[in-house]
Amino acid sequence: MRVHLCVVGRLRFGPERDLIDDYLKRFDRTGRALGLGPVTLLEVEDRKGGGMAAEAALLRKAIPSGARLCVLDERGKLMSSPDFARQLGEIRDAGTGDLAFVIGGADGIDPSLRAEADMALSFGQMVWPHMLVRVMLSEQLYRAASILAGSPYHRI
């Protein structure tokens, strides 16, 4: 199952980019044997300042046709890491070819795009900077692959 991170904003160089690259590389290595990956990072940028609606239009173009859609949203479902791993495995086992995770811009995700999602995931009730959410999601993807592989990376 191919995994796509469809995100608003371009992340240049820096510690966040280094962490994302490291975790996604680890995910690709660990997930390959599990039928997970590769992961693709698709960054979109609304240069005209059209707000959430314009960002949603750009995100829709970045999401592969037929992909299952998971939005990262503070109103989404809270999950433990093992539950997230199980969910990822179930989506893969259902024969899903593409899974797209969507991270909106500073104002969040347009309600119309949120309504199209198959699921919504939350990293808690606090609002996180969207660039940091990328790091957190990348790490959780790697952790999920590690859990599914039976690796000691995740200890309960």
CATH number of the domain that residue 97 is part of:
3.40.1280.10
Which residue range forms the structural domain that includes residue 38?
Answer: 2-149
Q: Is residue 156 part of a domain?
A: no
pLDDT over threshold 60, residue 34: yes
What does the alpha-carbon distance between residue 152 and residue 146 come to, in Å, rounded to a whole number? 8
Asked whether residue 125 is marked as a ligand-binding residue, the answer is: yes
Q: Is residue 107 part of a domain?
A: yes
Q: Structurally, how many domains does the chain consist of?
A: 1
Asked whether residue 84 is marked as a ligand-binding residue, the answer is: no
Please give the full DSSP string across 60-118, using - where no structure is assigned.
HHHSPTT-EEEEEEEEEEE--HHHHHHHHHHHHHTT-SEEEEEE-BTTB--HHHHHH-S
Amino acid at 129: P
Average predicted confidence (pLDDT) for the chain: 94
Asked whether residue 31 is marked as a ligand-binding residue, the answer is: no
Q: Is residue 140 part of a domain?
A: yes
pLDDT over threshold 60, residue 156: no
Asked whether residue 79 is marked as a ligand-binding residue, the answer is: no
Q: Is residue 10 part of a domain?
A: yes
Per the listing, tokens 């039976």 go with: 150
Judge if pTM exceeds 0.85: yes
Q: Is residue 62 part of a domain?
A: yes
pLDDT tens column, 93-110 = 999 999 999 999 988 999
Q: Is residue 154 part of a domain?
A: no
Dihedral pair phi/psi, residue 135, rounded to 5°: -65, -45
